[in-house]
Amino acid sequence: MRFLALPVLAATAAITGAAAPMPLVIADPMTAVQGELLISALPAGSRDLRLDGQPVHMDADGQFMLGVDRDFAGTRRLEWVTRDGRSAHRDLVVRPREWVIDRLPARLMTPADPNAPRNLEWERMREAEVAQVKAARAEVSPWPFWRATFQWPATGRISTHFGAQRVYGEVPASYHGGMDIAAPHGTPVTSPIPGVVRLAAGPFSLEGNIVIIDHGRGLYSAMMHLSRIDVKAGDIVAQGQQIGRIGSTGRSTGPHLHWGMTWNGVKVDPEALLPPMPAKAEQAR
């Protein structure tokens, strides 16, 4: 990491009326990839980190995380205050990523029928489910669990990657917001890093049996389609602790774990955070 100290522009000094211009620190650009949860660090003692003007939590040792939207293209801006009180900034260049795109003829898309009767009972139920999921991620807790090194919650074939998308003719369907790990029904699912269980409920109509784990500072894991749940809301789970078992509850065509991660509402790719799949599991596939 290289930092350049430059004199602040004379015009800025005139506006602020500062007697001696404070040097401005401009660091080399940083890069990230679309859909990445970037975990990085600035020099210890840095403070008031902002991403495009929005505050981002940073620990005293300078470590921080931020999620990059799957469809963001271009450059974002990080600004902060250095240990000695200077303002600093650095560009965050987001590199595009190749996504798995399934191109299908437009005729395969099921058109919404404007004359179909509304299923109010289903709508009410769905609204309540969505509200529970939203409430589970409403609080941004101060836990430092996000700093742990990630482990596989289950091993098996990755049946759908994060970001995969179907396009019907010219019309894109919504992209896959997590990673799917296919494994036999009943395979244990463990917590990839520690956290606090915020939701353990189901079966929901789409998610099936779902567990949402709060890893702190706006980072959450959602584990879906479980056949069984072994934790309850409020439990603190250790890394590697069993939270449930793989199943096919909710909208699912076969036993698999859907693991979705969000950082302050931004969906990020869990696969990019994982070490290579353990060798033993590779052999068992």
Query: Which stretches of the chain bind Zn ion, using CB under 5 A?
Result: 180, 258
Using the minimum distance from each CB to Zn ion, give the nearer residue, 5 or 101.
101
Q: Minimum distance between the CB of residue 260 and Zn ion, rounded to whole angstroms? A: 7
Rounded least distance, CB 255 to Zn ion, Å: 12
Q: Closest residue (Cβ) to Zn ion?
A: 258
At its nearest, how many Å lie between Zn ion and the CB of residue 69?
18
Q: Which is nearer to Zn ion, 194 or 208 (CB)?
A: 208
Report the residue number, 42 or 257, with the smaller CB distance to Zn ion: 257
Closest approach of Zn ion to the CB of residue 257, in Å: 8
Closer to Zn ion by CB, 258 or 267: give it: 258
- Pick 25 or 223: Cβ nearer Zn ion: 223
Minimum distance of Zn ion from residue 172's CB (angstroms): 17
**Residue located via tokens 């919404």:** 112
